[in-house]
Each structure stands twice: as C-alpha cells, then as structure tokens.
C-alpha cells in the first residue's frame, strides 16, 4: 500500500491561498489505513479549516482515489458542493490527488505527502520492502531486497562499512547484505552465494509507468 502522511496544516493553508471555500476528498483505502485521509481525518480537517475561517462546502471519501473513473463518477454525485468550492483539498496519495485534478478543472490542493510503498507490520507500523524498481532481483537475493533494505541500494555487498552485521549508516539496523547471506546459507542457496549481480538496467523501467493488460 502507499504510505502517506499529512502535510503540516500551515503548509496546507498556504497552498489553499485565496481559496475561501473548500471541498475535501479522502480515500477509503491506503490513506484510511495510514490515518492520513480517512473519515476521521477528513472530519478533523473540516473542523480545522472551519476554525481557520474557511468554508467547507462538503466532503467525500472515495473508495479508491487512484481509480480515475470512480473518482470522476463519485465527484459528479456531489456536483453542487464541488461547484460551490474554490478549491478541492485531496487527502489521498499523489496518484489520488491527480485523479481528482484530472476529473475536475478546478484548483486541487494536496493535503498529504506520499512516502513509499509499504508493508503493514502491525497497526500503524509500516515498513518499506520494495522500491518498485521494475526489474526484480529477489530471486538472486534470497527474497530480501537490497535495493530497498541496503541504505546504499548496493546490488553486491556488504560494503566495507559493515560492522559485525550492522549497517554503517545506522548501527541500530542490521546490514541488508549480512541478512541476505545468512538467508542464503540457511536455505542452501549456494549458487547465489558466489554470484555477483551486474549493474541494473534502469532503462527497463518505463517512466511514467504504463501497463495495459491484454484481454
Ligand atoms: S528488486 Fe527490490 S525494489 Fe526491485 S522490484 Fe524487487 S523488491 Fe522491488
Ligand atoms: S553496511 Fe550493509 S546495508 Fe549498510 S550500506 Fe553497507 S552493505 Fe548496505
């Protein structure tokens, strides 16, 4: 899921600028789980905006704000409230914010910062495991991603700074490559133990990303 955090309120106010009336859009998926743009946070935002002298014309929680067709359809169901607003404040990830800006030709303001693709460790505790590099090497790295888990993103490691299995950039963290080698030994992955990885071919990653499934 996409991990997001609310921007400081002062920053949101500044981005709203002269817009006196605001329609708020939240997201029922990732932003709800991250507690950055679910029902409760939309309500709190509404209170905060009203207290700071802005009018809130209405709000909506879209089931998946990254679903462009759904965003357009759901916003049409609140057309009058949207029309009455000077700006739309979107409490969703960057993809959701752009679904809204594509659907409504009106000032769209981002209330959240999108941080990373995260795994849920437990409630309210998220960890990045994958950086979406588009050319997965987990088959060669014992199922642990060095692109993400190593702070230098080294494809071959460990680096010279590793100290007794700890990372030189953060002594509290285990070195990703120490973990990878331990896992390889544990699983008898002798082939990958002695192999080195060539430089990554980042041209394989389309930017912007596009994928159309064949029917
Ligand atoms: S190598 Fe790492 S960053 Fe790339 S796709 Fe696999 S898990 Fe994600
Ligand atoms: S100590 Fe390990 S995890 Fe840290 S930067 Fe070096 S190789 Fe990467």
pLDDT at 214: 87
| Homologous superfamily in CATH for domain 2-116 | Response regulator (3.40.50.2300)
Residue nearest to atom 7 of ligand 2 (CA): 158
Given phi > 0 = left and psi -120 to 50 = alpha, else beta, which region is 142? left
| Gap from CA of 149 to ligand 1 centroid (Å) | 10
Ligand 1 within 6 A of CB of 136 = yes
Kindly report, residue by residue over 175-196, the tens digit of the pLDDT: 999 999 999 999 998 887 888 8
Ligand 1 within 6 A of CB of 155 = no
Ligand 1 within 6 A of CB of 205 = no
pLDDT at 206: 80
Pocket of ligand 2 (CB under 6 A): 150-152, 154, 157-159, 161-162, 167-169, 175-177
Q: What is the pTM of this model?
A: 0.92
H/E/C letters for each residue in the chain? Answer: CEEEEECCHHHHHHHHCCCCEEEEEEECCHHHHCCCCCHHHHHHHHHHHHHCCCEEEEEEEECCCCCHHHHHHHHHCCHHHHHHCCEEEEECCHHHHHHHHHHCCCEEEECEEEEEEEEEEECCEEEECCCCCCCCCHHHCCCCCHHHHCCCCCCCCCCCCCECCEECCEEEEECHHHHHHHHHHHHCCHHHHHCCCCCCCHHHCCCCCCCCCCC
Residue nearest to atom 8 of ligand 1 (CA): 130
pLDDT at 7: 98
Ligand 1 within 6 A of CB of 131 = yes
Kindly report, residue by residue over 141-157, the tens digit of the pLDDT: 999 999 999 999 999 99
**Which numbered atom of ligand 1 lies nearest the CA of 136?**
6
Q: b/e per residue, 66-92, with b = 16+ CB within 10 A? A: bbbeebeebbeebeebbeebbbbbbbb
Given a cut of 80, whether residue 215 has pLDDT beyond it is no
147 C-beta neighbours (distance < 10 Å), count:
19
pLDDT category at 207 given cuts 50, 70, 90 is confident
Q: Give residue limits of the domains in the chain.
A: 2-116, 133-200
| Gap from CA of 167 to ligand 2 centroid (Å) | 5
């Amino acid at each position: 899921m996409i991990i997001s955090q609310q921007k400081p309120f002062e920053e949101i106010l500044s981005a709203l600028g002269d817009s006196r009336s605001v329609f708020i859009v939240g997201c029922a998926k990732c932003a709800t789980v991250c507690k950055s743009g679910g029902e409760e946070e939309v309500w709190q935002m509404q209170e905060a905006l009203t207290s700071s002298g802005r009018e809130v014309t209405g709000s909506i929680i879209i089931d998946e704000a990254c679903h462009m067709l759904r965003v357009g359809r759901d916003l049409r169901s609140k057309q009058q409230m949207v029309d009455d607003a000077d700006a739309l404040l979107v409490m969703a990830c960057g993809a959701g914010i752009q679904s809204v800006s594509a659907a409504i030709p009106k000032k769209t303001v981002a209330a959240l910062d999108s941080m990373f693709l995260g795994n849920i460790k437990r409630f309210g505790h998220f960890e990045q495991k994958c950086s979406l590099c588009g050319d997965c090497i987990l088959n060669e790295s014992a199922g642990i991603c060095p692109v993400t888990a190593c702070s230098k993103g080294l494809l071959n490691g460990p680096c010279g700074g590793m100290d007794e299995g700890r990372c030189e950039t953060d002594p509290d963290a285990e070195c990703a490559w120490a973990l990878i080698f331990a896992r390889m030994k544990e699983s008898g992955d002798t082939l990958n133990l002695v192999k080195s990885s060539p430089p990554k071919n980042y041209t394989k990653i389309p930017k912007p990303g596009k994928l159309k499934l064949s029917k």
